[in-house]
Amino acid sequence: VLVWYTREDGEVVADTRELEVEKCLGSSASLTWSESQAQPGQQTTLTLSSEPNSVCSLGVVDRSSELLAKDVDPISLEKLFDFVDNFDINRWINSQIYTPDYCEKKKLREKEKDRASLSDLNPIIFPEDRPSVSYYSNYDSGLYVLTDQTVETRPCEEDEALFFEYDGPPEALGIPQLAADFDTEDRIVGGAGGGNSSPSPSPPPPEDAPRTDFPETWIWDLVVLPSSGVNSQNLTLPDTITQWVGKAVCAHPEKGVALSERESITTFTPFFVDLTLPPTVKRGEILPVKMSIFNYLDRPIPVSVSVGESAEYEIIQEPGAPGELGRRSSCLPAQDKVVHTVKIKPLVIGEVNITVSAFVDYQYSEPCGSGDTSIEKR
């Protein structure tokens, strides 16, 4: 907050105060998925909304690609304000204040008075300039004065002498032959200007370069919002079983920057079958086909799995095996798996194609799950 007034002689008197406020942006952006979970290959809708005619950068990546990332959210509200702070006007660089004619002469007179009042204990003096109450008020508020005249300030920057008494000859540290008598650990470490007696910190160990070349980037695009401020895209989910995380950064010529929250959609399949087979088998050998059925749902489901008949192999009916030839059924627990085995005997030489299918068995004889008809055959 900058407060100022102009005196009758043209002098501007100003002062500033800094107030801590909650960080916020001039506009907002939102990113939403039409559902939180879906199966691979299904259609979903991604809706982006912000100020009309905004230009938005939209990115959707695989969550697994962030595991080795140094920063999973490189553009956040905190980082954005930290970046803006780099553009604050520095009071010491390219300063407009020019007061040598008045202030330097005033400082010289005051320094002569200070020297006369010093004690005889040979103090080590570190002069330091200290701004007065209204000094650089404009620069503290981030303002420049647009003028072709010389800018002076009143009152002048005040000198504040910092000193401490050293129990010994202050000249000793500047004489090479005396300085050499100090042990290595007792020497003062520091460059010109001194004052730092602590050892120089060792450089931090080099960090391992993070792996950043991940192919799991689904969407990386620029989107110009229409006059409604809403953009909806109908997308086909990739085949990866993962969580897709999206975020948008929008820019508007009047409202500025807007950031959306990180929104995700999970692609998964309710259940799937995995086969455990050897790489080779002899003709006529009995081969057990192990079929693992995984259930990713949070409820049990009745599942039947079967090996299709083929001229390339013969399905062996085991004595006492339940169900039809080559078919097994069970109640698959939630978040679990069941393994079934069907034996076959290959009849041909070369590659043998084995067809295995799994589906929800709504004719299952025992109670199991809620009978969700939305689960398709696998």
Looking at residue 177, its pLDDT comes to: 44
259 and 279 together in one domain: no
129 and 173 together in one domain: yes
Give the predicted TM-score (pTM) of the model: 0.54
258 and 293 together in one domain: no
| In contact, 207 and 181? CB cutoff 8 Å | no
- Mean pLDDT calculated for residue range 265-278: 85
276 and 352 together in one domain: yes
Q: Is residue 347 part of a domain?
A: yes
- Mean pLDDT calculated for residue range 88-95: 64
327 and 312 together in one domain: yes
pLDDT band, residue 66 (cuts 50/70/90): confident
Q: Which of 320, 325, 331 is nearest to 363 (CA)?
A: 331
Q: Which of 21, 46, 22 is nearest to 233 (CA)?
A: 46
Q: Is residue 64 part of a domain?
A: yes
Q: Is residue 115 part of a domain?
A: yes
Distances (CA, A) of 350 to 10, 280, 347: 101, 9, 10
Looking at 250, 267, 284, the residue that finishes a domain is 267
Q: Is residue 105 part of a domain?
A: yes
Lowest mean pLDDT of 237-251, 309-323, 328-342, name the range: 309-323
Looking at residue 365, its pLDDT comes to: 75
Q: Is residue 254 part of a domain?
A: yes
Question: What mean pLDDT is reported for the chain?
Answer: 75
The one-letter amino acid code at 146 reads L
Looking at residue 268, its pLDDT comes to: 81
Peptide bond into 155 cis (omega under 30): yes
- Mean pLDDT calculated for residue range 121-128: 47
29 and 16 together in one domain: yes
65 and 38 together in one domain: yes
- Mean pLDDT calculated for residue range 300-304: 88
Looking at 186, 204, 225, the residue that finishes a domain is 186
Looking at 267, 297, 330, the residue that finishes a domain is 267
Looking at residue 261, its pLDDT comes to: 94
280 and 263 together in one domain: no
Greatest mean pLDDT among 20-34, 115-129, 310-324, 348-362: 20-34
348 and 283 together in one domain: yes
Looking at residue 172, its pLDDT comes to: 42
pLDDT tens-place string over residues 343-371: 999 988 888 889 898 888 887 778 886 55
Domain CATH number, residue 53 = 2.20.130.20
Q: Is residue 88 part of a domain?
A: no
Q: Is residue 351 part of a domain?
A: yes
The one-letter amino acid code at 169 reads P
277 and 339 together in one domain: yes
Number of domains observed in the structure of the chain: 3
Please give the residue range of the domain that contains residue 343: 271-360
pLDDT tens-place string over residues 151-204: 767 666 655 555 555 555 544 444 444 344 444 444 333 333 444 444 444 344
Domain CATH number, residue 331 = 2.60.40.10
218 and 255 together in one domain: yes
Is the pLDDT at 296 greater than 50? The verdict is yes
**Which residues pair with residue 245 across a beta bridge?**
61, 264
Q: Is residue 94 part of a domain?
A: no
26 and 61 together in one domain: yes
pLDDT band, residue 255 (cuts 50/70/90): very high
| In contact, 156 and 102? CB cutoff 8 Å | yes
Looking at residue 168, its pLDDT comes to: 54
- Mean pLDDT calculated for residue range 139-150: 67
Instruction: Tell whether the torsion through CA atoms of 47, 51, 55 and 57 is positive or negative.
Output: negative
Lowest mean pLDDT of 37-51, 146-160, 263-277, name the range: 146-160
Lowest mean pLDDT of 120-129, 150-159, 329-338, name the range: 120-129
pLDDT tens-place string over residues 225-240: 999 999 999 999 988 8
